[in-house]
């Protein structure tokens, strides 16, 4: 009886997927901070004021 084994290497695909998820998460985080930084509502401004200063985002 013969046995046929198929070897599939997904290491490149996994690395690409992890990189894509990391880039997407970074873009989402940056977009959220940027949008909130430009938000004129007082309570959002006060909530994220220290975060903007900590990340170097100019707010005044």
pLDDT in tens, 21-46: 999 999 998 888 777 677 667 767 67
Cα distance between residue 28 and residue 59, in whole Å: 20
| Domain-located, residue 48 | yes
Residue 36 domain-assigned (yes or no): yes
How many structural domains comprise the chain? 1
Residue 20 has pLDDT above 80, yes or no: yes
Residue 33 resides in a domain: yes
- Are 13 and 21 a contacting pair, CB within 8 Å? no
Q: Is residue 21 part of a domain?
A: no
Task: State which residues form the domain around 46.
Answer: 29-54
pTM value is: 0.47
Inside any domain, residue 10: no
If one counts every other C-beta atom within 10 angstroms of the C-beta of residue 48, the result is 19
20 lies in some domain:
no
Residue 12 lies in a domain: no
């Amino acid at each position: 009886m013969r046995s046929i084994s198929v070897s599939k290497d997904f290491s490149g695909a996994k690395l690409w997927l992890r990189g894509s998820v990391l880039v997407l998460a970074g873009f989402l985080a940056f977009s959220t901070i940027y949008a909130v930084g430009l938000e004129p509502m007082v309570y959002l401004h006060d909530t994220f004021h220290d975060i903007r200063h900590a990340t170097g985002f100019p707010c005044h």
